[in-house]
Structure 1
Amino acid sequence: MLMAHMLPMGFFETIMWPLHWAVSGLLVLAHTIFSPFTGNDTGLTWVLSIVLLTVVIRTLLIPLFVRQIRSTRNMQVIQPKLRELQEKYSHDREKMGMEMQKLYKEEGVNPFASCFPILLQMPIFFALFQVLNGVSRGNPVGTFLIDRPHLIESMQQATIFGAQISETFWPVTDGFGAVQIVAVILIITMTATMFLSQRQLMGKNMPPEAMTGQFAQQQKMMLYLFPLIFAVGGVNFPIGLLIYWTVTNLWSMAQQFYVIRNNPTPNTPAYAAWEERLRAKGHDPKMYKPGQKIPRKPVERFGTAQSGDDATGASDDTQATKETRPKVQRQQPRRQSRSKRRR
């Protein structure tokens, strides 16, 4: 079966075949799970199938996402050192490049690591686009959909809020209808969540010294450029693909919020908020590091007295008791005579 599907394909299709196989298999599996509860041919079943596919993909990408956050944070921390090198070796670009590579190696930073999750997700995005686009055009992609023609027809006819999930905003054939309305709402939501996710990272988890320089300019460019690209290209995305990308952005926002809240970069607003939460719970922020598990009860240092008014009050009461206690002078026993002892 593998060779039968691979031989007629071109080079690109051959490379993408494993992803087509996986995406179509996950969609069919999710449809099998939800169809007994929400119906075999309903739009809700296919939407839930796409959501489950998103959750599975994002769960698999969690290690790379955490690595991306750490790499971005490390790049932010070394920005002052990079600017010093750029100013010091501005006349010698070769020497500056060597020193920058040396700094990356010493700090354990990979300047390209922050792009890995995006680059890895793009083939998955293309695979899902081709699978859903193939369904909308009646040209199924993926082994599990090719072998199940009845699911192709089911997905083509499935609707959500009156719009078929296989249709696209453009071209507009029958006027501005339910497809265009749902597509516009999803495009706005998709671009807004993408913008807010990047804005959350720059506004809360970047130190002030990292907000200037070439790296900061690149971050600001990505902040506005990526949402604009997806907003323009979204008019050609099927409704199902817009649902996938919107759910992906929502997942990224929640995941990023959790990482920034519990493992913030030093000298950032998120780090200051993390310290305030520790103090409110009675902990000393100097005793912990971001990402470290914090016990519920504050840990008292060895040999220290109780803190707060209770300790002060207890010591005052003890001192007052010592001062007001009457002093009793001990009397030495008198020596008795032999006659008195006999009595």
Structure 2
Amino acid sequence: MDILGFVGTILWPIRWVVEAILVAWHFVLEGLGLAPDAGVTWVLSIVLLTIIVRVALIPIFVRQIKNQRRMMEVAPQLKKIQDKYKGKKDQFSREAMSRETMALYKETGTNPLSSCLPLLIQMPVFFSLYTVLHNAQTGKIGIGLLNKSLSDSFAKAELLGAPLHETFTTATTWHVQVIAGAMIILMTASQFYTQLQLTSKNMSPETKASPMYKQQKMLLYVLPLVFLFSGLSFPLGVMFYWLASNFWTLGQQYVVIRNSPTPGSDAALAREARLAKKQQEKEARRGVSGGGLKSLTEVTVTEIETPKRVTTQRSQPVGKSRAKKQNGQAR
């Protein structure tokens, strides 16, 4: 209980900010003409809240991507060290492997824990979002701007006839279960495709041959299962947050992989091919344009400088007798 109280104290300022952003967007949407108690108004507020939070976390995401890339780049060297001491379980070998591993981390400027740090920083934010949305949908008063009136409005809001506070397991009608089930499937599919995009396109062949690839491949199937089973107990409003967050991550990762892929990966080869194709097209357009002007100039100069040939009929030589005869006839 003391631990929960301690965690609640730490998350208090984050929850206050989250509630303030949620209420602010609800106020803006109400000012734009949307009904304050309508489910679409609260769902849009949740989506816009998610966007604000994810934009604020972009620097952390970029740092996480860089750390992950460094770990992927040193993965082949780590495998060599592990293969070197494979099967050796004596104390001396284990200490030697540990020293060489730490020396490699120091030399390359990598840290296996640094890639997890951004995720740990995000967890309090995500947990605060869940707490705020869950408390509001169960009619509990918030700690900031989410007063009793707004909490009741949020708890009673419906979208397509489904109350936002209901879950798949607590739904009283099949209609709500269908909507909740569809959202769970979308959450699971988006999470799976996000991991698939990372493992299939943004890893070099050396990384795919390392133990790290096996861990990433395991996460490819484990994380979607976590969303599948945990989504059964998520209120619809909370699932809108997770779904919006998943789509944001998918799009953000697509941009990063397309424009700044891991060297040697399939995405890097595809990017090089695109750049080469664009360069060829650019040179082709420049060549066609330049070649056309050059040909026109050559034709014009040739026509001007080359004199036109005058076709004349050649006169045949006339003998003296024939000339006298012609002169006599002319007289």
For 1:127-138, what aligned pairs fall within 5 Å after superposition?
127-138=128-139
Other-structure match for 1:149:
148
Deviation readout 1:163-209 (Å, 9 max, x if unpaired): 1112222224x242x32122111111111101101110111110112
Conserved 8 A contact 1:134-1:141: yes
Displacement after TM superposition at 1:121 (Å) = 2.2
Q: What runs of 5+ residues in structure 1 fail to find an aligned partner?
A: 1-8, 284-295, 299-305, 319-343
Which of 224, 232, 256 is 1:259 aligned to? 256
Q: Provide the rounded CA distance (Å) in 1 between the counterparts of 2:141 and 2:218.
A: 37
Q: Distance in 2 between matches of 1:77 and 1:132?
A: 40
Matched, 1:242 2:243: no
Residue type of the partner of 1:69? Answer: I
**Structure 1 pair 140–236 and aligned structure 2 pair: CA distance change class (3 A):** farther
Residue of structure 2 in register with 1:181 after alignment:
178
Picking from 216, 223, 228, the partner of 2:225 is 228
What code does the residue aligned with 2:69 have?
A: R
Query: Do the aligned residues in 2 keep the contact of 1:169 with 1:236 (CA within 8 Å)?
Result: yes
Matched, 1:69 2:65: yes
1:11-30 matched pairs, under 5 angstroms: 11-30=6-25
1:88 to 79, 84, 87: 84
CA contact under 8 A between 2:142 and 2:151: conserved in structure 1? no
Amino acid at match of 1:232: F
8 Å Cα contact 2:47/2:244 also seen in 1: yes
Shift of 1:140: 2.5
The one-letter amino acid paired with 1:181 is: V
CA distance in structure 1 between the aligned counterparts of 2:68 and 2:25, rounded to whole angstroms: 34
1:43 to 3, 22, 39: 39
Q: Are residues 1:117 and 2:118 paired?
A: yes
Specify which of 198, 202, 207 is matched with residue 204 of structure 2. 207
* RMSD between aligned residues: 2.7
| Displaced runs of 4 or more, over 3 A | 306-311
C-alpha change, 1:76 and 1:22, in structure 2 (3 Å) is same
- Contact 1:188–1:231 under 8 Å retained in 2: yes
Residue in 1 aligned with 2:168? 169
* Distance in 1 (alpha carbons) for counterparts of 2:214 and 2:64: 18
- Give the structure 1 partner of residue 271 of structure 2: 274
In the TM superposition, what are the counterparts of 1:316-327 in structure 2 within 5 Å? none
Distance 1:309 1:50, change over 3 A: closer
Q: Which moved more, 1:119-128 or 1:150-159?
A: 119-128
2:166 counterpart letter in structure 1: E
Pairwise CA distance, 1:310: 6.7
Change (3 A) 1:10 1:266: closer
Contact 1:264–1:270, Cα closer than 8 Å, also in 2: yes
Aligned length: 287
2:319 maps to none
Paired AA for residue 85 in structure 1 = I
TM-score, with structure 1 as normaliser:
0.77
- Output the amino acid matched with 1:98: R
Instruction: Select the structure that is richer in helix.
Output: 2
TM-superposed deviation, 1:119: 2.1
Kept after mapping to 2: 8 A contact 1:131/1:142: no
Does the CA contact (< 8 Å) of 2:46 and 2:241 recur in 1? yes
- Deviation of residue 160 (structure 1)? 1.0
Kindly indicate whether the alpha-carbon contact (under 8 Å) linking 1:61 and 1:117 is maintained by their aligned counterparts in 2. Answer: no
- Percent identity, please: 43
1:52 to 41, 48, 51: 48
**How far, CA to CA, are the matches of 1:69 and 1:144 in structure 2?**
35
Query: Residue 33 of structure 1 aligns with which residue?
Result: 28
* CA distance in 2: counterparts of 1:17 and 1:180, whole angstroms: 33
Structure 1 contact 129–237 (Cα < 8 Å) conserved: no
Quick check: 2:76–2:210 contact (8 Å CA) kept in 1?
no
CA contact (8 A) 1:169 1:179 kept: yes
Residues of 2 paired with 1:183 and 1:113: CA distance? 36
Q: Which amino acid aligns with 1:183?
A: A
Structure 2: where are the runs of 5+ without partners? Answer: 299-331
Q: Higher Cα Rg: structure 1 or 2? A: 2
Partner in structure 2 of residue 159 of structure 1: 158
